[in-house]
Every structure is written in structure tokens, then in C-alpha cells.
Structure 1
């Protein structure tokens, strides 16, 4: 099934009156354009580092800026989006010429894991669609909505194949881009994460800064068959949230970016609105669970547009167990 057919059918069933379909198609188009730039790499000059840094304090690459601009251009054509929050901008971007009753807000990370491009590693784009409050003044407050209010979420993965993974609130579905027709085709309908899979993804170089519950959980996993878990675990880390979450959606396991005591000015590393919330919706719609270790991610009330939180996402039994470690 083509993406357009899937969206028309799904949006009709979800009573979105066809407005969500053109929005998702515009994001898919942005993904196609970014995929071309990623594939060209050094040939297109997009792997060059710039002198500028973004609001996160991170060095920017030309590909970060180009990907952001592509997203903004594609969203603007729909006239359905009032404003957007991007990793690359300190403040929200508001669209000129949007329809008076434009129903959506979009939060996005235009290129997650962009440092991987330098060595031809996997990267991706993440997005979240929120309802636009009626007759609300343009302000950051518009975007400070709990993840449970997301209308849709997804990511585009730029790897050996370009894939679009989305949820409209009724399951998580993956589409593969046919390079000949440039059409996204449904290849993995209704993804389901197994309740348990002996694999975890974590940046082990930060271990000395983790809280005691996470230290103990990882130690118990590493102990293998001889330890309390009585099971051998694998560790994976791609340095790209899109790549690690994609693997978990395809076969299970748990993704961990826990609270880090070295970073005292923020609770976690990953941004709530355009990284953790959309990925959490995808994970939970696939039968998994998303937590900070102490609370449900999708129930968190954001306090600022670039807020960071701990993230524990994946197979439900493992996330439940990690919450128990924190409770103890």
C-alpha cells in the first residue's frame, strides 16, 4: 500500500477529515529531499562543520541547517501549520499565510545524529504533530502540551534504505522508500515490540555519572547467566536515537538515556517535545513502554520548548523492571 492510500484510509477512520494526510505527505517529501543530501554527503558539501552553534550549544553542520530549511519549506506549503519548534531555533517559527483555522503545530529535530554523517553512519529526522489551540496568541505556551495530546508522530531513517515510521494513534507502521518510483510503500504494518528482548542501548561512557538504580540495572544485565537476571544481554549504541529506536521497534530491547548527575542544569540529555515525546508515542503504539524511570513520559507537562528529560523506551517488561529499580 502506498503512503498516500494508507493516510487517506487511516485519516478517514480517525475522523481527521483529510487534513492530516497532506501534512504527513509534506513531511515525507521533506524526508525524500533530505535523503538525497545525506546520500551525496561530501559531494554536496553538507558534511562541513560551521562556525555557528545552535540553541543547544552544539556545533552545527551544513546538513543540520539544510534539513531544517527543507522541513520549514515543506510545512509552509500545506497552510495547515500555525507554528513549529525546531532543534535548530531558540524560539518557535511561525508560518506566514497559514489558514485562519490551521489545526496543527509541529515539533521536529531535522537531523538526529548528524555527527554520524562524517563517517557515513545512520541518521534521521524526528517529528511530532500537536493540535493548535483555537484563537490562541502566538507564544511558546502553545507548544507546551503533554505527549498524550500528540495527533501523530514519526521519524525518517536515512540508512541503507530510507524508511518512514509513523503513528496516527492507531498502531505504528513503517514505510520503505522505493528509489525508482520515489514512493513510500508500507512494508512493516502494525509493528509490535516483544515484551522482553535481552538487548539494551546505552552510552556506556557516561556510566560514572548515572544514578544508582541505573548503575545496578546495567551491572545486573552485564552479569549475564551467572547473575540475578540469568540471561546474557547484548549492548548496542548507534549514537543516533532514530537508529537505536528503529532497531528496538524491529526486534525489541530497551533504549536508555538516563538522568546524568554531571549535567546539573537539566534532567536529561534528550529533548522532550521533538525527541522523547514522538519516540514514546511510536514505542507505546507498538506495545512498548516509555518512562523517565520514575514517571510516564507521555504524561509529563512540558515547561519549556527545549526541555530535556531522561528517556527509557522499549520492551515493556524491561521498562517496568527499570522503574522497579528506581522505586527500590
Structure 2
């Protein structure tokens, strides 16, 4: 039996593929390479194509004995989602609908969904719990919430069991040093800060310093990407053992501000890393920190890399060795 990983050539997806391979799993990867990289797929069988291509996806399921899906494939830029909502509904929501239809035809009844803390919007309390209000403040979060709800109705109608994992900011790189974070354009804070340290940017932009936080910059919960990959595997194992559908938050429970991330990066890299205050971005909540108590209790998930210094150090190791990303581009 094989595990299908959609978006498996992307940042988090490729780390999940690596973790599956380390467990001895058969892995099938589907990625349109819009943001992913062939070099990031360390093994398994890679199909280059789009979830919305019914003939292509039917071939993937026909050629492989798939018993579970881990679904990462989605557009995920908050700012872009506010400017081009149609793109996000078509790729994220419609793409997931196409995937679920193919799963149902193939009789595949387990899916782990890579969701997001953006489903909560501006939280009512911190840390955020799974049963707290979901009121996204951006199109990206809204599409992810729509995807969650659609998967639930496929469970009701067709018995496709799911685990939805809502998590926060992924960072860091694989311990083996072979894969890391490489987006074009880059939008995530840690690699952007490290690009300044590498001399590839003149400064790091801080979008807003007037939020209701201690230093005025946004606070987020950073998780090592390998810890996220482990959580997806634990969720898949739970479904394989007959577990019921569920939603879990993933987080370290410790929030760090943008300014704190910059300061720790200065310490790790030994570079000055100039910062420039810019206007707020539309749709950015002030604080997102998760309570992952349920994931720890029910999935047995425990982050192994919970110090920000260690997370940034692993990212710096990869970026300093691969300053131009995959293929040296």
C-alpha cells in the first residue's frame, strides 16, 4: 500500500515525504511544481500534474495501490489571496473537490489535511483551542476552512475519514541537510531574514509595529518543519487504525514576535540584519499561538525542536549551504 502526498515537492510536503520514506512507506507524490522542486523529493514516485486534471488524477490512483492521502497542495500567500481570491478558490477549494472525487471513486477512505491557523482569524483567546470560533480575516484562511468543511461532508456521505491539522509558522530544515525552504517569491519570515544575512536583501521588512503586542509586531507560533511532518504521519496512522475524523492544532504553545525572530536570527548568524518598519499587511491577525494539548494527548505528538534558536539554526545551516536554493538558481 502507498501513501499519496499532494504538494509533496513543496516545503512541508517534501519533509513529510522524507519522513514517510524513513519509515519504509511506499510514497506517491503529485505536484504541479508551481512552487515545488523535483530535487526536494527524496524518493518514491513523482507525478507532475494538477489535481484539477481528472484524467491525470484517475491515472495516479489506477497505477498505485493507495490507502491514504496527505494533502498539502494549495496556494498559501495571504497577501496574494486578498488580491486574487478567484485563484485561491479555484486551486484550493476546487482542487480539493477534484481530489476527494477521485478518492471516492478509488475507494480511498483516509485523508490527512494540511490546514492552517488562519482559519481562526483574529482569535478570541490565546492560546487558541480547536473549538474556538473560526472567522478568517483573509481569503487564504477562508478557502482552507471551506476545504475542511467540504472534507467533512465527504465523510458524512462517503465515509472518507479525515484529520485536519491546523498549524502555524513552519520553519527550519531537514536534519539530513538535503532539503529546506525555497519559495519563489519567498514570503515566509525566517528565510527572508536569512536572505538579509546572506546579503541577498538590504533589509527585512516588519509589517506593522503598532499591534497590541509587547513590542508592537505580530506574534506567531513557530514549529520545526520536521515536527510538522511527524504530526502528519501520526495522524495518518490514527486513521489507518480506525480513528474517527478530527481536527487538531499544532504548535509549540510559545509565541514569538517578528522582532524577536529577527533578533534571534542575528544571534544565530552573527550578521546585523537591518530591519525596516513598513505598513501593516491586510488580513494579518496580531497574535496566533496554538494550544496543541489535544494533539499531544490523542496523537502522541511531541515537538522535538521547540526552541526558536534551534529552529532558526537548522534553517541557517541549509540556506548558508544553498544560498540560491535548489539547483543553485
Q: When the two structures are superposed, what TM-score results if normalisation uses the length of structure 2?
A: 0.30
Greater relative contact order (Cα < 8 A, sep 6+):
2
More strand by share: 1
